[in-house]
Structure formats: structure tokens, C-alpha cells
Amino acid sequence: LYTDVVMAGGMNGFELASRATILNPHLKVLYTSGYAEEMVRKEGVDMSKIAWIQKPVDIDELEDKITGLLDSFGLEATPAGDE
């Protein structure tokens, strides 16, 4: 799951991930936000315990983060165009 921390409609990315992991406890979550990490920490989030990428997102960093999550789950990422 790739989710922004701040979302419209009253639910935030942490709530979304919490609900989604009830349905799939093995789900890997990558959070993103344009807000500074300090603001996210103020919400009580331990940044060392989550996969995080700061906006604006660098595509190479995003690829590395997703590959790392898939590797930790025992899956392999297939680069675009290599299907």
C-alpha cells in the first residue's frame, strides 16, 4: 500500500493502513507526505518503524523503497518493461 499521510475525507494514511492491515496482516505500507517528518512525529509516529518517503518523490528513491519492501516480504520487483 502506498499512501499519503494526509488525505481528504477525514481519514489519514495511518488510519487507512490500520484498516487495510486488518484485512491483510502481511501488507507492507509505504507512507508519503509533503509535510516535514517533524510534523508526522508530532502525531506520535515512530519514523524508524515505518517505510517513509518525503514529497516531492524522487522516482529512483521510490523504486528503491518499493523494492526494499518487496524484498522484505520475499517478493521480487519486476522493472517496468520487463514483464
pLDDT (tens digit, 9 = 90+) per residue, 31-53? 998 886 777 777 787 877 888 89
pLDDT value of position 63? 93
Helices (H), 1-83: 13-23, 37-42, 59-72
Collapsing DSSP to helix, strand or coil, 19 comes out as helix
Q: What residue ranges of the chain have pLDDT lower than 50?
A: none
DSSP state, 58?
P
